[in-house]
Structure 1
């Protein structure tokens, strides 16, 4: 049975299922959105085949690897793919569009399915992601949501999205709230590549004639870096400042970061990073409050001594249009208050 020409990345949406034939570790690092993982070699098997290739040679590696690939494809046919109909049309990819995806396509076509192979594999998709970010970002009509710490900027984004506005939620993609205390308990950040994949997937769906709302971020969110074209576009974009009083912001932070009191030692440890900026005496007091789970005192001083004094200068440094920003007053940051802010932001557009 002859294979058709490999499929281009841009044509991947024409298929019923995307199958990633790489190992689970490769898949976890990054994959095409919506793909399912049907590895033809698992992580350990891939290591074994690589070792045999180095120590013994290509033929022995192919013989041993071939047996493993056949067994794994048989298992996928019995299990994951057992309920697929006769007219099912999958697109299969591996790292470079080589032997792993080729082997699976061969077997799926022998069964009778119209299976095809992605040209260039994951590497071609990765080039596509970078190209999409580079090409689409300068065309975006960005509106940057700014505000002092505790201004519920992320929740405002969610409220905007619920009203049909276009939103790019970078902190959701980064699995991090963007501040010193922004790591989420039990949630690891994704790889840099997967972060960029999530961004590109949104950009592909954007109507460039409509605004895209994004939270004002620094160049890094946790350990992840924003793509430089996106940083450049944000720096020149119009700013909308959510202006809420300190007491409203403190009340919001106590709700939004309540989980920090669950691991007091970890919280105190993270605060230690501020000793050089704030001095040992101040940070020791903060660490004591952390150990006591006294979040109201801790958050109030973090706002007044650490975050708020640098806020204005930071915004001026990061956003060229800061002086011309539009302000939306928020008397409170309750659920109803956040909804009112979102309504006011949309009226500005």
Structure 2
């Protein structure tokens, strides 16, 4: 018997003081409900110990687990929960709403807080979220506007400028922590897991007003190691496309600004370029390597744009592109913030 309330999805998660994920840090890192905090009642090592013992004796494993959960719950009570007042009302979950979350929820309820348990735990959230995300792309009135253009035109910068002016923006590369190209591997941090990418995508989508346009960037099916969910990929292929243009010299300047770490670590850049020998040939890659070694950055960046990225670009409307032909084009004149703000204004004023 339990002495606390339970919550079943879909629910208004904003009604809770906070959402608490009591799973291990390793489980939390793979994925969690957006906005949740991690207060583990078993550490990574403790969960492994309990699981190993369970193979030989479920009873002994439950005894060990109960003691560890109690000790960690006591620590959280004396530290994290110490200053919470009587109005505090958290929602707790573990993997399936089992012993870990039930134990801490019961303790918090016994203190007097209105703690609630998420029925089915993270597993239930994941199943519901995937279905809801698919519904948002396939069965809603959502209208995406896709920004396309050659590498280096600053599509992400334009998205940020649109957001500054109050437009709804879906920054897929930001959520994926990858710029979606050979040089796009994150310089700081790693890409999230596929599951966390999808949870972040769902969280962002749930904030949008479906009656208003949502601007996003044309992407490949993969952004680094991550895949676009099939429903998103289909929605992108069906959405209107705006072609973004920027002069070559300005594109070169933009790459120089956005990839400064390669100038500081030319060896890593040289290693990346070797991957292109198969499609661009040894002679061109050797030329690039020489330009990098001699720090002829402007010459190198111009060439990598013209002789690699521009040749790889699948123009919307071409038979090899999933995207339809552009319905309009917007010219950005320079990489200045004012130029992108001006282009964003032009975009917003288009009759779409």
Decide whether aligned partners of structure 1 residues 243 and 73 sit closer, same or farther in structure 2, where only a CA change above 3 A counts: same
Name 1:107's counterpart in structure 2.
Answer: 107
Cα distance 1:284–1:276, how it changes in 2: closer, same or farther (>3 A)?
Answer: same
Residues in 2 aligned to 1:343 and 1:167: alpha-carbon distance in whole angstroms: 14
Question: How do 1:300-319 and structure 2 match up within 5 A?
Answer: 300-313=302-315, 316=318, 317-319=320-322
Q: For structure 1, which segment, 79-88 or 4-13, has the greater mean C-alpha deviation from structure 2 after superposition? A: 4-13
> What are the Cα deviations for residues 208-258 of structure 1, in whole angstroms up to 9, with x where unaligned?
111100001010110000111111111111111111121121111111222
Q: Give the whole-Å Cα distance in 2 for the aligned partners of 1:192 and 1:6.
A: 29
Matching residue within 203, 207, 216 for 2:209: 207
* 8 Å contact kept, 1:242–1:341: no
- Report if aligned partners of 1:218, 1:318 keep a CA contact under 8 Å in 2: no
Deviation at 1:187, TM superposition (A): 1.4
Matches within 5 A, 1:121-160: 121-138=121-138, 139=140, 140-160=142-162
Distance across 1 between alignment mates of 2:222 and 2:317: 15
Q: Which residue of 2 aligns with 1:239?
A: 241
Offset, 1:285? 2.0
- Distance in structure 1 (CA, Å) of the matches to 2:113 and 2:314: 60
3-state SS, counterpart of residue 339 of structure 2? helix
Q: TM-score, normalised by structure 1?
A: 0.96
Q: Does 1:321 align with 2:324?
A: yes
d(CA) in 2 for partners of 1:131, 1:312 = 31
Contact 1:132 1:204 (C-alpha < 8 Å) held by counterparts: no
Distance 1:321 1:186 in 2: 34
Q: How far, CA to CA, are the matches of 1:321 and 1:217 in structure 2?
A: 13
Aligned counterparts of 1:243 and 1:142: Cα–Cα separation in 2: 20
Shift of the 109–293 alpha-carbon distance from structure 1 to 2, 3 Å rule, reads: farther
Q: Is the 8 A contact 1:4 1:116 kept in 2?
A: yes
**Alpha-carbon distance between aligned partners in 2 of 1:288 and 1:47, rounded to the nearest angstrom:** 51
What is aligned with 2:83? 83
Distance 1:141 1:294, change over 3 A: same
Partner SS, residue 9 of structure 1: coil
Over 3 Å counting, the alpha-carbon distance change for 1:250 and 1:281 in structure 2 is: same
Query: Secondary structure, in 3 states, of the residue corresponding to 2:184?
Result: coil
Contact 1:237 1:319 in 2 (8 A): no
Shift in Å at residue 315 of structure 1? 6.1
**8 Å contact kept, 1:264–1:292:** no
- Counterpart-to-counterpart distance in 2, 1:177 and 1:258: 14
Task: State the match for 1:166 in structure 2.
Answer: 168
Q: Tell me the secondary structure at the aligned position of residue 82 of structure 1.
A: coil
- Range 276-285 or range 157-166, more displaced: 276-285
Moved beyond 4 Å, runs of 4+: 312-315
- Residue aligned with 1:74, SS: helix
Instruction: Give the superposition deviation at 1:14.
Output: 1.7
Is the aligned partner of 1:49 residue 2:50? yes
The answer to which of 129-138 and 192-201 deviates more is: 129-138
Q: TM-score, normalised by structure 2?
A: 0.95
Contact 2:241 2:323 in 1 (8 A): no
Spell out the pairing of 1:1-349 with structure 2 (5 A cutoff): 2-11=2-11, 12-54=13-55, 56-138=56-138, 139=140, 140-313=142-315, 316=318, 317-322=320-325, 324-348=326-350, 349=352
